[in-house]
Amino acid sequence: MKSLRAPSLLLAVATAASLLTTPIGGGYSHAGPASCVPFGTAQLPPGAPATGSRAGLSAFPRYTGTSAPSRVEMRTETTQFNLHWEFALVGHRLITRPRSASQWRTVPLPSCLRDRLVAISLDDDELVGIDGRGWIYTMDNVNQSPRLWNWTSAWGAMLWTAPGRTLPGRKVGGWALSVTSPSDNRAYQDIAGRVHPSGQAKMTMIPSLTGDGSRITYADPWLPNDDSYEVGGPLGGRFQSRSLSAAASTMFVMNKFGDMFTRTFDFDSSGSDSVFFRYSWESQRGKPSADNLMVETWDRSKAAVQLPAPDWTRQPKIPGEIFSTVTVIATGPGVERRELRVAGRRDGVAGFWHKSLQASTWGFTATGGTPSGTPVENSASDRSGETLAPRVPWNLSASLPSRKAFVDGQLLIDIGLPYSVVDPRLLDQVGLHAPKSGYRLYVTAFDPAATTRPAVVVTPDGKRIDVLLHTADGMRMSPSKPGLTSVPRHLVGAVALDDASFARRGSDPAVRAFVRDWMKGKQITPITLSATTTSLVIR
C-alpha cells in the first residue's frame, strides 16, 4: 500500500481507525534495525520515472574479486536485476553493474550496513537488503542515477515512519520485494478485465511464505508491523508452496512437484483500501474507465474497481528438468506485462525456462553453469492436491440482518465512507442495531485470508441455498495477529449466487424469495463482517 490522495484525509481516517480498533499485544520490537538510516526518499512517494542514468557510477570502486556472477538471469537472495541494473551480494558486499555491462562495482553502504546484509531483493526502483536478524532496509531510486541511491530502515504505519520491522517467514527462496509504480507499471486489471490507474504513488510490499508454505504473509510499509495481513494462497489457501517470487504486484509460487500458480494482488487493488480507492461488488459494465485515480475515486459515473479480487491462475507444467528458483519480472508498462522464469536444464544444459504470463507454452534459454536452487520432482501430471494444508478450524454462522436496517454494507459504499475501517460491531455499540431477517449464513473453515469460499444460507423455513462468500481484509492501523482470535477482525465482503443458482430463481421458490427479499433482486450484495474464532457478525 502506497497511494497518495490528501494527507489530511489520510490522517483523519487513520486517527478514526485507531479509535475504532482494539489494540492487541505483540507486534515487533523496534530496537533492532541499524540506526544510521532512519529516513530516505522511499518514504516520499511517488518517485521519479526511470531513467537508467549511470551518472555517478564511476565513483563506485571497481570490484576486483573473483566471486561475482558472470550472468544474472534469475532473482535469488544474492542476485537481482531490473530493467537497468544488476546487483549481487558477494559475502556481505553489495556490487552492481548496468544490465548491458561487464564490469562490476562495489556499492558504498552506510557505515551501519557494512558487513551486515545477508540477502537482497529488487523490483522496479527499490531494493531491500536483509540483515542477519531479518531486519529490512530499503534502497530507493534504483532506476535512477547511482547518485540518488539512498537507504532507510523505516517501515510500517504510520505513513512509512515506524522504526522498522523484520522479514516475515524468512524462507530461502520464499519471499520477494514487489513494487508497482505509476511510471513503470501505471495500471492494473480487475476481475472483469477492466484496466485501472495504479495511483499517484506506488504499491510496495514483501510477500513471504510462512509456516508450512500455505500462508503468504506480506509486509507493507504503510501498514502496521505485524503478520496479520496475508494473501490467500491457491486452492482456498491450502496449497503448500516451496518457492515464491513477486514483481509489480504479481506473485508466482511453486510446490515441490512443480505445480505453479500466479496471482496479481495488492492491498490497494484487492478491496481493502477504501480510503484511496473506490470499489464495487456489482458489474461496472457500461461505465467508462477513469484516466486517473482522483477521477476514479470521486466520479461515480466512472467505473469502480470491480470485486472480488482476481484469484490464482494455474500455470502449465514445464516439460523438462526444473529447480526450486522461480522468478517473475515486469517487462514494461502495461497490464500483466510479466515474464515467468524457472531455473532448470534441457538436454543436460543449465539455463531457465520462461514464458509470458498468459502464454500456454514454455521456452528455454541456455546459460551454462549450475542452475540455482535445488532439484524439483517435476511430475507431468498435476499433484497440487498432494500438498494441501489442513483446513482452518473456524466454522462460523451469523444471522443475516434485515435489509431494512438503517446502516448496512451497501449504504457504506453508497455514501463513500471509508468503510474498511468500520467494524459492524461498532454500529451496535452506538445504537445502530439491525433486526434479524430470518435468514442465517453458515460457513465452514472460514479463512479470513481467502477471497472466496462456499457458504450456505438457511431460509426461515429450513431450506438450504448455496452461496459464495467473498471477503477483503479491513484496514487496521494498530498491530494485530494473523487469522482469527478472540478479538474481532473486520472484513468487507459480499454474498453472491453463482450463475446457475441465480438462474434457479425462476423455478425454485426459496431462491426466488431470497433474491427478492434479501438480495433485492441482485446476484451479489455487499456486506461488512466482524469475525472471531467463535462468532460472526454481518451487516
Tell whether 143 and 229 lie within a shared domain. Answer: no
Residue range 462-473: average pLDDT?
A: 97
* Residues 156 and 183 grouped into a single domain: no
DSSP state letters, 344-372: EEETTEEEEEEEETT-SS-EEEE--S--S
Q: What is the mean pLDDT of residues 225-244?
A: 97
Is 382 a domain residue? no
Instruction: Dump pLDDT digits (tens) for 270-317.
Output: 998 888 888 999 999 999 999 888 898 889 899 999 999 999 999 999
Q: Cβ(315)–Cβ(260) under 8 Å? A: yes
Q: Going by DSSP bridges, is the β-strand pair 215-219/203-210 parallel, antiparallel, or unpaired?
A: antiparallel
Question: pLDDT tens digits, residue range 11-61?
Answer: 333 333 333 333 222 334 446 899 899 999 999 877 778 888 999 999 999
Residues 208 and 159 both lie in one domain: no
Which value, to the nearest 10 degrees, does the dihedral of the CA atoms of residues 208, 42, 154, 247 take?
0
Same domain, 162 and 182: no
Residue 418's pLDDT is 62
Per the structure, the count of domains in the chain is 3
| Residue of 108, 234, 119 lying closest to 171 (CA atoms) | 119
Pair (441, 302) in one structural domain: no
Q: Name the burial class of residue 493, with classes exposed (0-12), middle (13-18) and buried (19+) by CB atoms within 10 angstroms of its CB.
A: buried
- What's the mean pLDDT in 349-363? 97
Higher pLDDT, 387 or 49: 387
If asked whether residues 234 and 296 sit together in one domain, one would say yes
| Mean of pLDDT values over 512-516 | 98
Q: What CA–CA distance (Å, rounded) separates 188 from 184?
A: 12
Using CA atoms, how far apart are residues 539 and 315, in angstroms rounded to an integer? 38
Instruction: Give residue 417's pLDDT.
Output: 64
Q: In the 8-state DSSP scheme, what is residue 424? A: H
**Does residue 5 have a pLDDT over 60?**
no
Whether the pLDDT of residue 498 is over 80: the answer is yes
Local confidence band at 411 (pLDDT 50, 70, 90 cut-offs): confident
Peptide bond into 74 cis (omega under 30): no
- Asked whether the predicted pLDDT for residue 363 surpasses 50, the reply is yes
Instruction: Give yes or no: residues 270 and 418 share one domain.
Output: no
The pLDDT of 461-477, averaged and rounded, is 94
Same domain, 196 and 251: yes
**119 domain residue, yes or no:** yes
Containing domain of residue 410, as a range? 396-538
pLDDT at 198 over 90: no
User: CA–CA separation, 321 vs 405, rounded Å?
Assistant: 59
pLDDT at 4: 46
**What residue type is assigned to position 144 of the chain?**
Q
Average pLDDT over residues 118-146: 96
318, 281, 317, 287: which is closest to 303 by C-alpha?
287
Beta strands in 388-488 (DSSP E): 396-401, 436-443, 452-458, 464-473
Output the pLDDT for position 420.
Answer: 60
Tell me: do 243 and 290 sit in the same domain. yes
Is residue 336 located within the same domain as residue 433? no
Strand extents, DSSP E, 316-463: 321-330, 338-346, 349-356, 363-366, 396-401, 436-443, 452-458
The answer to whether the beta carbons of residues 60 and 87 sit under 8 Å apart is: no
**What burial letters (b/e) apply to 195-228, b meaning 16+ CB within 10 Å?**
ebbbbbbbbbbbbbbbeebbbbbbbbbbbbbbbb
Count of C-beta atoms within a 10 Å radius of residue 73: 18
Q: How do 279-280 and 305-306 pair as beta strands? A: parallel
Whether the predicted pLDDT of 200 surpasses 80 = no
Section 362-368 average pLDDT: 97
Q: Which of 44-58, 301-315, 491-505, 506-520 has the lowest mean pLDDT?
A: 44-58
Q: What is the pLDDT of residues 51-85, one digit of tens each?
A: 889 999 999 999 999 999 999 999 999 999 999 99
At which of 376, 405, 435 does a domain end? Answer: 376
The neighbouring-strand residues paired with 11 are none
3-state DSSP assignment of residue 499: helix
One domain for residues 272 and 357:
yes
Question: How far apart (Å, rounded) are the C-alpha atoms in residues 268 and 291?
Answer: 17
Q: How far apart are CA 171 and CA 326, in angstroms?
A: 14
**CA end-to-end span of the chain, whole Å?**
26
- pLDDT > 70 in the chain, percent: 93
Q: Is pLDDT at 209 greater than 90 in this prediction?
A: yes
| Average of per-residue pLDDT values in the chain | 90
Q: Do the domain assignments include residue 466? A: yes
Q: In angstroms, rounded to a whole number, what is the distance separating the alpha carbons of residues 537 and 531?
A: 6
Both 82 and 156 in one domain: the answer is yes
pLDDT at 406: 77
pLDDT reported for residue 434: 87
Tell me if 40 is assigned to some domain: no
Q: Which of 188, 218, 392, 406 is nearest to 309 (CA)?
A: 188
**How far apart, in whole angstroms, are the C-alpha atoms of residue 21 and residue 15?**
10
The pLDDT score that the predictor gives to residue 336 is 84
Q: Is the pLDDT of residue 494 over 80?
A: yes
Among all chains, which residue has been given the C-alpha cell 481516517? 13
The answer to whether the predicted template modeling score (pTM) of the entire model surpasses 0.85 is yes
pLDDT of residue 419: 60
